[in-house]
Structure 1
Amino acid sequence: MNDEQLLRYSRHLLLDDLGVEGQERILAGHALVVGAGGLGSPVAYYLATAGVGRLTLVDHDEVDLTNLQRQIIHDMSRLGRPKAESAATTIAAINPDVRVRPVVRRADEALLSELVAEADVVLDCTDNFATRQAINRACVQHRKPLVAGAAIRFDGQVSVYDTRQPQAPCYACVFPPDQQVDEVRCATMGVFAPLVGIIGTVQAAEALKLLAGVGSSLAGRLQMLDARSMEWSEIRIGRHAGCSVCAAWRETPHLVTTS
């Protein structure tokens, strides 16, 4: 680290669990953030301020006035601009040392496989079930930890799915891809603005811990927040031996592709 970085990240360096070595791992890290909206905004903000070396931001959508109630990485001057590019502009103003790659494309299977393979940690900040499953499949295939969050109305949830741990579930172990899901979107159901900030900040914290190699992650634990009463609850979650996504990959490690 240079003198400016020692000053910028000094409050991290004072933490015994993190220190210089942990901060250097963050600086060398590469995070893939899928979704630059309500959850992606605080995620990208905190990863950037903490000094994550590379950020890849994927979002095919454009900034709309209705987004600004909660998507704090965008502003009025960016209306109509691609969200990924808008977020990259904000990050550059906060921490120009972070190398940001905005990807203005829909996150399909081929793109996700390519981008996940390059990343050290993946953050799911999307709002639809099919994309969540596609992200999970890519993370399982490439053995990359997935930090997944969700928020709708006053309800949020967050967990880490890290199949590098033998007993940790993947996302599909907990939410099978063939289950019937009623898609709920902010556009029709609404969302409490600070809720996405709370969940997104937890996602950023989990990603930073994974990159720095400190603490213990939420792998195997699903945390849920009821923002009406501001009460957290937690359930233990385990791998499903018959999971249609991760079972085969666990049994045939020679097929796993790593970056």
Structure 2
Amino acid sequence: MTKRMDGKVVLVTGGASRPGLGAAIGERLAAEGANVVLSDVDLPGVEETAALIRDKGGMASAVKHDVASQEDWDKVVQSLIAEHGQLDALVNNAGILDVAGMASDRAVGALRSQFEVNVAGSFIGTQVAVKAMRQSGGGSIVNMSSVAGLVGFRGSAAYAASKGAVKLFSKSVALEVAAENIRVNTVHPGIIRTNMQAAGAGTNSDNYDAIEAAIPMGRLGEPVDIANCVLFLASDESTYVTGAEFVVDGGYTAQ
């Protein structure tokens, strides 16, 4: 039986953390037939994620990758093309979250560090992926933003600024490459049960408690909820979808 991602090669960044979005996305895409390359600065962690996917019958490999490094991006994608011959989809998932206080109390370094990973990482990755996808006639780029890139979040100003930048950067690039059959979209998770969110809740518990209580569906999201959305965008089911934002938040930002 044909699967939704048969024959496609996908690079997913930030695949080490479990529970985490990158790991869940890699597992979901591999289950649908994709050959998944997972990357992360944590090589042992991402190798373990790839091994778990292979144990379930999927195709997955792992590579060490600092998404803020142009050199790393070039090496990772060049190696991927040399081994697999194509890059059909990129999921720019790697990111960091620093929500330890109000903007008036934070040093500007908190902003710079999040822009370096969340924004520059997506920017460089998108650049490199576009060049690779031009060689094979198109592809899909999914950049991970956040509901914090859509509405304000107390205690998360630097993070929100970075994720808002990812959203508008992605829309702009989508217009630039649409005629080349390259799609660029963003996914905006709400409060999802991951290690990153647990860390954020630990340093910003009052705000997180209020946000969780305000979710209309009455529960936190699970990583697979995001992975299912990414699967649609990475597959050929979304060939007429670009420059769009997909909100997966249990209704939080609908209020």
Instruction: Place the TM-score, normalised by the shorter chain, in its bin.
Output: 0.5 to 0.7
CA deviation map 1:44-79 (0-9, x unaligned): 111111111x211101127xxxxxxxxxxxxxxxxx
**1:133 is the counterpart of 2:115:** no
Match of 2:178 in 1: 165
Aligned-residue CA RMSD (Å): 3.9
The percent of aligned pairs where both chains have the same amino acid is 18
Q: Using the TM superposition, give the Cα deviation of residue 121 of structure 1 relative to its aligned residue in structure 2, in angstroms.
A: 1.0
**Counterpart residue identity of residue 34, structure 1:** T
**Structure 2 equivalent of residue 27 of structure 1:** 6
Length-normalised TM-score, structure 1: 0.53
Q: Specify whether residues 93 and 170 from structure 1 end up closer, same or farther in structure 2 by C-alpha distance, changes over 3 A only.
A: closer
Report 1:216-227 matches (<5 A): 216-227=239-250
Identify if the C-alpha distance between structure 1 residues 130 and 164 changes in structure 2 by more than 3 Å, giving closer, same or farther: closer
What is the CA–CA distance in structure 2 between the aligned matches of 1:132 and 1:205, rounded to whole Å? 20
| Mapped partners of 1:154, 1:139: distance in 2 | 23
For 1:166 and 1:154, how far apart are their aligned partners in 2? 27
Whole-angstrom distance in 1 between the partners of 2:180 and 2:37: 29
Note if 1:102 corresponds to 2:62.
yes
Structure 2 letter corresponding to 1:138: V
Q: How many residues align?
A: 174
Question: Closer, same or farther in 2 for the Cα pair 1:56/1:205, shift >3 Å?
Answer: same
Please name the residue that 2:88 is paired with. Answer: 120
Preserved CA contact (<8 Å) 1:61 1:104: yes
Change (3 A) 1:225 1:136: same
Deviates more, 1:217-226 or 1:131-140: 217-226
Q: Deviations over 1:216-239 (max 9, x none)?
A: 453121123443x35669xxxxxx
User: What are the Cα deviations for residues 150-180 of structure 1, in whole angstroms up to 9, with x where unaligned?
Assistant: 3477989988865542399987x99xxxxxx
2:215 corresponds to: none
1:126-205 correspondence to structure 2 within 5 Å: 126-127=94-95, 128-143=118-133, 144-151=139-146, 164-166=177-179, 186=197, 187-188=199-200, 194=221, 196-205=223-232
| Runs of 4+, deviation exceeding 6 Å | 152-161, 167-171
Structure 1 residue 105 displacement after superposition: 3.1
Report what 1:91 is aligned to.
53
- Structure 2: give runs of 5+ residues left out of the alignment: 82-86, 96-117, 134-138, 152-162, 187-195, 203-207, 213-219
| 2:41 maps to 1:60 | yes
Instruction: State the 1:86 CA deviation.
Output: 1.4
Unpaired segments ≥5 residues, structure 1 = 1-5, 7-19, 63-81, 175-184, 234-259
Higher helix residue share: 2
